[in-house]
Structure 1
Amino acid sequence: MTKLSVNINKIATLRNSRGGDVPNVVQFAKDVQRFGAEGVTIHPRPDERHIRYQDARNLKPEVYTEYNIEGNPIESFINLVLNVKPTQVTLVPDAVDAITSNAGWDTIKHKDFLVDVIKEFQNNNIRTSIFVDPVLKQIEGAKETGTDRIELYTEAFAHQYSKGDFEGIKSYVESAELANNLGLGINAGHDLSLDNIEFFNENIPNLLEVSIGHALVAESLYLGVENVIQMYLNKLK
């Protein structure tokens, strides 16, 4: 069964919009785990406009499932991850002012940098994953970095699927098959939702984990958090 990791950035965005501590991100992380989620994901950015670096520290003793911290490996992020020591770090090539992640790594161009960063995390017993587009040469490049896993950037799939174009899954299937042959674990995320997750999961061989935040939180406004998590878990069986 593919694991569901809930990205709680949007909860922090809601909190920050009014100041104070409502909703409380630590309590929300505890709740989603209680409701059945098998992981918690956060993506702190340098301006801390949603998840703050202190949130990452506060969550550490409360996340008893998989704890995944995503982000661009600038010095402050690297130091945070080494201090917190989550289950997994997912490296994302975000620009500082990016609203949300919008591209995977060029694993060939940035190979030497990724090798060094990944080695440092692995030396501290932190599993590594790198955000990649479904491009075969980038999957091959990911293998050369020494990463444990890749996270397939699924925005293109989600966009095509929403238009009724199911052929958009092909590059992801091919990428997953190559990753399996290379011994890379496979995660996925970005714009996955209740509408498309079952189809994606059924077609991607050996998909280990999906990270879902924006859609899950939006769906929960209508259906309730506990109910939505159970709906995802049923679709991922």
Structure 2
Amino acid sequence: MAKHIRYMLRFMCGRFILSDASWAEYHDTLRIIRGASGHVSYNIKPTQTVSLARIVDGRLRADEARWWFVPDWFDVGTRDWKATTFNARIETAASKPVFRRAWKRGRCILPASGYYEWTGDRSARRPWFVGLTQNAPVFFAGLCEARSDSALTCTILTREATPELGHLHPRMPVILTEDELLPWLSGETGDADGRDLGLGWSGRFVTRPVRPFGRDDDGPELIEQDGFDL
């Protein structure tokens, strides 16, 4: 398991958080997701159940999904799918056989309060928290697919990192602004290579080093500043 987690953290975005305070803001300010449970956690991991919103029969609907995309055409159980698909590159997702159907019919958004990135040598990996300067809620752009066994799985789309985040990782989640949410869900945007999506928060990110934490650790203390020497 430890080897699997170390391998997983080489990818972006591998962990994110959803705090209770921000969840209330999502309902009050954006009014996008209604009735979702929220899954408040400071250490959300791939394969866990996450909240999302998608358009179904012309209506916006809150749903829950397993965060590790498995295409509908894979006719074995989701746990037998071995490809690393909790992230997908927005530049190529439309053309990849794994995501092609979901790109057209399974767009979704996932609420988050921020995410983690790791830097340093493998023997001394250092976690960083990435959030927003004004504590505003954010939504990741994603893709989801309802399988024939009724299981819903999803992936978070990533893009080239903005200059202010490039020192942590060359890529970042596609974080949509409020004006981009419904156009993304309805398929009005992103039909090229997606390079224009997820830039609306540029210049408004905050990054800080946090203390190393374990696979099953959780709680607001995980995002407290770590005063190690840079």
TM-score past 0.5 threshold: no
TM-score by length of 1: 0.28
* Structure number with higher strand proportion: 2
More helix by share: 1
TM-score by length of 2: 0.29
